[in-house]
Structure 1
Amino acid sequence: MSVVTKGLLLLALFSFNFYSANAQWKLVWADEFNMDGKPNPANWKGEQGFVRNHEQQWYQDANAYCKDGKLIIEAKREKVINPKYVANSSHWKENREYSEYTSASIITAKKQSWQYGRFEMKAKIDTRPGMWPAFWTLGNEGQWPENGEIDIMEYYRGDLLANAVWGSMEQYKGIWSTTKKPITEFNDPEWSNKFHIWRMDWDEKSIKLYVDDLLLNSIDLEKTYNAKDPKKNPFRQPHYMLVGMAIGGDNGGDPSKTEFPAKYEIDYVRVYQK
């Protein structure tokens, strides 16, 4: 058998195996963002105000909109009044009279949730200082982190992250499986100007997190039982999605020299199951 014939046979076998494996997945839900205006309220609701991680942005609905077949999450440098301001308060949600930034985070909680499947997003993220875009999930039941968190994509300070977190013995302190990949390792100076595909393959045995088919993290679900309640595995329950862009906060970095507005552009979000 010639080298050429062997090569063609190997290519045909690879193609058969690839398409056979992917043929098992059936699309069960998607948002293609093809209707201009607000995100579909049957799928999404917006988070409001100061929410988590000591972030600098004020979340508001106006900063998430669909245009030309894409969901745009737009962060702005603009001053908005904090209605929960309390003079001399030590709480981070109350001790700022104003927010200097606005952005959006939209979630599918109490609207759409899934247990297991292939979750996929095609998006272009802003990687400048202070930006913290994310595509992630939380479990429907339980208090964080006992409900489980999966970070299919988050980015800050030069790194892409692919994480999962579950409950430890301490309240509000999680056990993390974390990987970081500096975007400089892609050796593409235009990487941040391009759309990429983030994917999670999740079943009862494992969670695998990818970018552009590159495996970033693999989590064995036999190792993710909550420490306080070893019978509870937060990744064996339905999860809902969150898509948003934070600014600054615990991890995002300093946005003060970044030019705004900043945009996180999502072409689609899809869920497949077998």
Structure 2
Amino acid sequence: MIKYGIFFLAFALGISSNSQAQFNPTGTEYALVWQEEFDQAGQVNSSLWSFEKGFKRNNELQWYQEPNALVKDGKLIITGKREKVENPKFDAESKDWRINREFAEYTSSSINTRGKYEFQYGIMEVRAKIDTALGMWPAIWTLGISKPWPSNGEIDVMEYYRVKGEATILANAAWADEGQYNAKWDEAKIPFSKFLEQDPDWPSKFHLWRMEWTKESIKIFLDDELLNEVDLARTVNPDGTNPFHEPHYILLNLAIGGNGGDPRSTSFPKEYVVDYVRVYQK
């Protein structure tokens, strides 16, 4: 496998106002091919993003809805709120948790580029500030477009939630195992305490997540620190396909509850703030 980490050390790096390393394609084979700078205040740009709505996955507590995502001061702000929303699909007899809950007690937003922008290989950067309170589960991730999960492949560029009760930063990839809805995972789980030891003010600052995706590997960085490297020679589905050799789309969301923990003692509202999303390709 080509050691792209060494290759990228040779790249020129631009420095942002808070001294985070940014990818600078000058002098490389890469060019900026897609970007969302969130520089148009108001509603999220519907030509770039679609919304998930209602209850979606993982027995999470939030009801996804459009009003919880707005663009202000050059940034996307996804707001988690404690508020009661009636479930229009409610059926007490249903065995589906999305239907047998009469109300949601929390709301948030989840946006994605499915059908509007997909990419295969390249470098994706997202500068964001996450809320690390109990109950929060923010994420930056991608999904393949061609098959149902997990055969389509999932790349978790950033997840923050509780692992055995401990606050954790995760960088993962998932693909299909034998049996419907069974996944194989390549996971990196870094205790959040490590980041707090380095900087007690970490939660109040923006940070830079970067994914370097080639045919051979996926590398996930946080503030230029390598968190996980996934060898794509291993990520083959039982049917012989490799979901990381196919196009993916981008998702940004703030979940509440589930792996995030019990939010009942947490004060609301909470904000997940994204400064930009950029994709570079050869």
Name the counterpart of 1:269: 277
Deviation at 1:88, TM superposition (A): 3.1
**Structure 1 partner of 2:264:** 256
More helix by share: 1
In structure 1, distance between residues paired with 2:110 and 2:151? 22
| Selected match of 2:117 from 112, 115, 121 | 112
Q: State yes or no: 1:242 paired with 2:235.
A: no
1:74-110 Cα offsets, whole Å, 9 max, x none, are 0000000000100232220111111000000000000
CA distance in 1, matches of 2:9, 2:103: 58
The answer on 1:89 being equivalent to 2:99 is no
The answer to whether residue 217 in structure 2 is matched with residue 209 in structure 1 is: no
Cross-structure match for 2:45 = 40
Aligned residue identity for 2:207: H
Scaled by the length of structure 1, the TM-score of the pair is 0.91
For the residue of structure 2 that corresponds to 1:185, the secondary structure is: helix
| Aligned residue pairs, count | 258
Q: Which amino acid aligns with 2:239?
A: D
Secondary structure of 2:111's counterpart equals strand
For 2:120, what is the secondary structure of its paired residue?
Answer: coil
Determine whether 1:100 maps to 2:105: yes
Q: Give distance in 2, aligned partners of 1:123 and 1:15.
A: 22
Any stretches of 5+ residues in structure 1 without a counterpart? 1-13
1:1-274 correspondence to structure 2 within 5 Å = 17-19=10-12, 22-23=25-26, 24=28, 25-157=30-162, 158-186=167-195, 187=197, 188-226=199-237, 228-230=238-240, 232-249=241-258, 251-274=259-282
Question: Aligned letter for 1:17?
Answer: A
The structure that has the greater radius of gyration is: 1
Question: Structure 1 residues 189, 229: CA separation in 2 closer, same or farther (over 3 Å shift)?
Answer: same
Residue 189 of structure 1 and its aligned partner are, at CA, apart by 1.3
In 1, the alpha carbon distance for the partners of 2:254 and 2:154 equals: 17
CA-to-aligned-CA distance 1:251-274 (integer Å, 9 cap, x gap): 111000000000000000100011
Cα distance in 1 for residues equivalent to 2:200 and 2:182: 37
1:39 CA drift (Å)? 1.1
Amino acid at match of 1:92: W
Unaligned runs of at least 5 residues, structure 2: 1-6, 14-23
The amino acid across from 1:203 in the alignment is T
SS in 1 for 2:151: coil
- TM-score, with structure 2 as normaliser: 0.89
User: Post-superposition shift, 1:151?
Assistant: 0.1
Instruction: Give the conservation status (yes or no) of the 8 Å contact 2:25–2:32.
Output: no
TM-superposition CA deviations, 1:42-93 (whole Å, max 9, x none): 1101100001111100000000010000000000000000001002322201
* Alpha-carbon distance in structure 2 between the residues aligned to 1:100 and 1:123: 26
Question: What amino acid is the match of 1:197?
Answer: L
SS at match of 1:96: coil
Paired AA for residue 278 in structure 2: R
> For the residues of structure 2 that align with 1:17 and 1:99, how far apart are their CA atoms?
50
Structure 1 residues 15 and 99: CA distance shift in structure 2, 3 A: closer
